[in-house]
Structure 1
Amino acid sequence: MAKVEAIWSVYLIRTKANQLYCGVTTDVERRFHEHQSSAKGAKYLKGKGPLTLAWTLAVGDKRKAMQLEYRIKQLNKQAKEKLVVGEIQPPLSV
């Protein structure tokens, strides 16, 4: 039986101060709950709740997801906000 590859996703979480945090995971819902409630969440998000899941995109493999995460982190806040509302497309590799 062939090994099933996990589908990686990129996500943006909004803090109560309206900041956007970008991350990658194979399970967005699980990871979002970890950020909200456990020691497994990112240090950056500690004490910055309530958190809301602002945007997510299933990418495929881990390499592509990490590349997209990097590109999103290079965007300014205005561009990230446009991404969240669908005014621009994610900066996928060419």
Structure 2
Amino acid sequence: MEANKHYFYVLECADGSYYAGYTNDLQKRLEAHNSGKGAKYTRAKGPVKMIHHESFDAKPAAMKAEYAFKQLSKPKKIRYIAEGKEDGK
């Protein structure tokens, strides 16, 4: 990881739910989630798996990516985007 980078990340929780966030220390945040300290953020107990992350030079860009992701109301839509389908069919 580079200094002064901000990261947007997506986690898959043990219960199948997803969590998105941003941080400037990706490794530390992932360790916190897996140790149980991140449970207050994910609302799911158990290990998490990082399924996506992007780096940005500015914190507002990482925050914008997190906000856009959270606008997806159903995990089903996440799979459609990953598959390249825009219409959700």
TM-score range, shorter chain: 0.7 to 0.9
Distance 2:31 2:52 in 1: 15
Q: TM-score, normalised by structure 2?
A: 0.75
CA distance in 1, matches of 2:9, 2:25: 10
What is the rounded CA distance, in whole Å, between the counterparts of 1:47 and 1:31 in structure 2? 15
The one of 66, 69, 72 equivalent to 2:69 is 72
TM norm structure 1: 0.71
Residue of structure 1 equivalent to 2:30: 32
Q: CA–CA distance in 2 between the matches of 1:12 and 1:52? A: 9
| Offset of residue 28 of structure 1 | 1.3
Runs of 4+ in 1 over 3 A off after TM superposition: 85-88
1:80: how far off?
A: 2.1
Residue identity matched to 1:24: Y
Residue matched to 2:50:
53
Residues matched between the structures, number: 82
Identity %: 28
Give unpaired runs (5+ residues) of structure 1: 89-94
- C-alpha RMSD over aligned residues: 2.2
For 2:56 and 2:31, how far apart are their aligned partners in 1? Answer: 20
